Amino acid sequence: MASRQNPKPMTIDEGSVHIDPAVNKLKRILEGKPEPDFLPGEYIGNYTTIYNMCIQKPPHDQSQELYDKYGGIFEDYAKHTVLPSIMEKHDEYMLRELSRRWDINKIMVRWLSRFFFYLDRYFTVRRSLPSLTEVGMTSFRDHVYNNVHFNVKQVIIALVHKEREGQQIDRALLKNVLDLFVENGMGSIKRYEDDFEDFFLQESASYYSRRSSRWIQEDSCPEYMIKAEESLKKEKERVAHYLHSGTEPKLVDIVQTHLLVLVAKQLLEKENSGCSALLRDDKTDDLSRMYRLYHAIPKGLEPVAAAFRLHVTAEGNALIKQAEDAATSGSVEEQVLVRKIIDLHDKYMAYVMDCFQNDTLFHKALKEAFEIFCNKKVAGSSSAELLATFCDNLFRKAGNDKSNDDSTIESTIDNVVKLLDYISDKDLFVEFYRKKLARRLLFGRFNDDHERSILTKLKGQFGGQFTSKMEGMVTDMQLAKDHQTGFEEHIKNLPKGVDFTVTVLTTGFWPSYKTSDLNLPVEMVNCIESFKAYYAIKTNHKRLMWIYSLGTCNLTGRFDSKPIELIVSTYQAAVLCAFNNTDILTYQELLEQVNLSHEDLVRVLHSLSCAKYKFLNKQPASKTISKTDTFEFNSKFTDKMRRIKVCMRKFKKKKKEKTKLIMIVVKQVPLPPVDDRKKVVEDVDKDRRYAIDASLVRIMKSRKVLPHQQLVSECVEQLSRMFKPDIKMIKKRIEDLITRDYLERDTENPSTFKYVA
Amino acid sequence: MPRTASKPKKKRSKPYTVTSSDTVSVPSASSETKKSSKEKDGKYKLFNKYANASSGVIDPEGIEKLCSKLKVSHTDIKILMLAWKMKSERQGYFTKAEWRRALKALKVDTIKKLKKALPELEQEVRKPLNFSDFYAYSFRYCFTDEKQNCVDIETICQLLDMVLGSTFRDQVDHFVNYLKIQNVYKVITMDQWMGFYRFCNEIIFPDMTNYSLELAWPSILDNFFEWMREKQA
Residue A422 in domain:
yes
Q: How many CB atoms lie within 10 A of CB A87?
A: 15
The closest CB to that of A735, out of B149, B214, B219, belongs to B219
Give phi and psi for A618, each to the nearest 5. -110, 135
A532 and A651 in a single domain? The answer is yes
Q: What is the pLDDT of residue B15?
A: 46
A486 and A632 in a single domain? The answer is yes
Rounded to whole angstroms, the Cα distance separating B147 from B149 reads 6
Q: What is the pLDDT of residue A296?
A: 87
Rounded to whole angstroms, the Cα distance separating A550 from A12 reads 128
pLDDT digits (tens, 9 = 90+) for B45-62: 888 888 888 888 888 888
Q: A687: domain range?
A: 677-755
Are residues A584 and A632 in contact, defined by beta-carbon separation less than 8 angstroms?
yes
A739/B149 touch (CB, cutoff 8 Å), yes or no: yes
Rounded to whole angstroms, the Cα distance separating A276 from A270 reads 9
A554 and A492 in a single domain? The answer is yes
Rounded to whole angstroms, the Cα distance separating A55 from A121 reads 12
Element (H, E) at B152: strand B150-152
SS3 content of chain A, % helix, strand, coil (to 5): 65, 5, 30
A750 touches chain B (CB under 8 A): yes
A545 and A593 in a single domain? The answer is yes
B222/A728 touch (CB, cutoff 8 Å), yes or no: yes
Pairing of strands A563-569, A584-586: unpaired
Q: What is the pLDDT of residue A509?
A: 86
A483, amino acid identity: H
CATH number of domain containing A648: 3.30.230.130
Give strand pairing partners of A638: none
Exposed (0-12), middle (13-18) or buried (19+): which is A530, by Cβ within 10 Å?
Answer: middle
Nearest one of B49, B106, B48 to B81, comparing CA atoms:
B106
Q: Is the dihedral of CA A162, A164, A170, A174 positive or negative?
A: positive
Exposed (0-12), middle (13-18) or buried (19+): which is A585, by Cβ within 10 Å?
Answer: buried
Q: Is A186 left (phi over 0), alpha (psi -120 to 50) or beta?
A: left
Q: How many CB atoms lie within 10 A of CB A119?
A: 26
A709 touches chain B (CB under 8 A): yes
A106 and A134 in a single domain? The answer is yes
A431 and A573 in a single domain? The answer is no
Exposed (0-12), middle (13-18) or buried (19+): which is A537, by Cβ within 10 Å?
Answer: exposed
Give phi and psi for A523, each to the nearest 5. -60, -40
A745/B191 touch (CB, cutoff 8 Å), yes or no: yes
Nearest one of A231, A262, A235 to A250, comparing CA atoms:
A235
Are residues A190 and A246 in contact, defined by beta-carbon separation less than 8 angstroms?
no
Rounded to whole angstroms, the Cα distance separating B215 from B222 reads 9
Exposed (0-12), middle (13-18) or buried (19+): which is B233, by Cβ within 10 Å?
Answer: exposed
Are residues A622 and A608 in contact, defined by beta-carbon separation less than 8 angstroms?
no
Residue A578 in domain:
yes
Closest residue on chain B to A727 (Cα)? B214
Residue A218 in domain:
no
CATH number of domain containing A699: 1.10.10.10
Rounded to whole angstroms, the Cα distance separating A18 from A66 reads 12
How far apart are the CA of A720 and the nearest CA of chain B, in angstroms? 19
Q: What is the pLDDT of residue A153?
A: 93
Closest residue on chain B to A734 (Cα)? B218
pLDDT at residue B25 above 50? no
B189 touches chain A (CB under 8 A): yes
What are the C-alpha distances in Å from A150 to residues A79, A164, A187, A535, B41?
Answer: 17, 21, 20, 106, 119
Mean pLDDT in chain A? 86
Q: What is the pLDDT of residue B134?
A: 93
Question: Looking at residue A635, what DSSP letter applies?
Answer: T
What are the C-alpha distances in Å from A168 to residues A161, A162, A165, A183, A210?
Answer: 11, 8, 9, 26, 22
Please list, residue by residue across B12-34, b when 16 or more beta carbons sit within 10 angstroms of its beta carbon and e when fewer do: eeeeeeeeeeeeeeeeeeeebbe
Rounded to whole angstroms, the Cα distance separating A432 from A241 reads 68
Rounded to whole angstroms, the Cα distance separating A331 from A378 reads 9
Among A462, A489, A520, which residue terminates a domain? A462
A158 touches chain B (CB under 8 A): no
CATH number of domain containing A434: 1.20.1310.10
Among A148, A173, A205, which residue terminates a domain? A148
B222 touches chain A (CB under 8 A): yes
Please list, residue by residue across A549-565, b when 16 or more beta carbons sit within 10 angstroms of its beta carbon and e when fewer do: bbbbbebebebeeeebe
Find the helix packing angle between B219-232 and B169-181, rounded to 10°. 100
Closest residue on chain B to A737 (Cα)? B191
Residue A627 in domain:
yes
Q: What is the pLDDT of residue B17?
A: 40
Q: How confident is the model at residue B34 (pLDDT cuts 50, 70, 90)?
A: low
Helix (H, G, I), strand (E, B) or coil at A184: coil
Closest residue on chain A to B199 (Cα)? A750
The closest CB to that of B189, out of A739, A752, A753, belongs to A739
The closest CB to that of A751, out of B150, B191, B215, belongs to B215
Rounded to whole angstroms, the Cα distance separating A715 from A735 reads 15
Q: What is the pLDDT of residue A653?
A: 25
Residues 6+ apart with CB under 8 A from A239: A245, A247, A248, A251
pLDDT at residue B36 above 80? no
Maximal CA-CA distance, chain A: 169
Q: What is the pLDDT of residue B41?
A: 72
Q: How many CA atoms lie within 13 A of B188 on its CB side?
A: 30
- Count of all residues that appear for chain A in the document: 757
Among A87, A118, A148, which residue terminates a domain? A148
Looking at the structure of chain A, the number of domains it has is 4
pLDDT digits (tens, 9 = 90+) for A56-81: 888 878 888 888 989 999 999 999 99
Closest residue on chain A to B222 (Cα)? A728
pLDDT digits (tens, 9 = 90+) for A356-395: 999 999 999 999 999 999 999 888 888 999 999 999 888 8
Residues 6+ apart with CB under 8 A from A292: A229
User: Bigger pLDDT: A652 or B108?
Assistant: B108
Residue A472 in domain:
no
Least confident of A568-572, B169-173, B219-223, B225-229: A568-572
Exposed (0-12), middle (13-18) or buried (19+): which is B229, by Cβ within 10 Å?
Answer: exposed
The closest CB to that of B215, out of A708, A732, A739, belongs to A708
Residue A112 in domain:
yes
Mean pLDDT of B31-43: 60
A406 and A510 in a single domain? The answer is no
DSSP count for chain A of H helices, then E strands: 32, 9
Nearest one of A440, A345, A462 to A391, comparing CA atoms:
A440
pLDDT digits (tens, 9 = 90+) for A589-647: 888 888 888 888 888 888 888 888 888 888 888 888 888 888 888 888 888 888 888 86
A508 and A653 in a single domain? The answer is yes
A450 and A572 in a single domain? The answer is no
Q: Is the dihedral of CA A614, A615, A620, A622 positive or negative?
A: negative
pLDDT at residue B22 above 80? no
A708 touches chain B (CB under 8 A): yes
Residue A280 in domain:
no
Q: What is the pLDDT of residue A648?
A: 63
A511 and A537 in a single domain? The answer is yes
How far apart are the CA of B220 and the nearest CA of chain A, in angstroms? 9
Are residues B60 and B51 in contact, defined by beta-carbon separation less than 8 angstroms?
no
Whether the bond between A620 and the residue before it is cis, its omega within 30 degrees of 0, is yes
How far apart are the CA of B5 and the nearest CA of chain A, in angstroms? 36
A559 and A662 in a single domain? The answer is yes
What residues in chain A have per-residue pLDDT under 70? Answer: 1-7, 329-330, 398-404, 444, 493-498, 647-675
Nearest one of A141, A261, A242 to A190, comparing CA atoms:
A141
A560 and A683 in a single domain? The answer is no
ipTM score of complex: 0.76
Question: Which stretches of A463-517 are DSSP H helices?
Answer: 464-492
pLDDT at residue B2 above 60? no
Contact residues, chain A, for B214 at CB < 8 Å = 709
B150/A739 touch (CB, cutoff 8 Å), yes or no: yes
Residue A251 in domain:
no
Q: How many CA atoms lie within 13 A of A590 on its CB side?
A: 34
Q: How many CA atoms lie within 13 A of A11 on its CB side?
A: 2
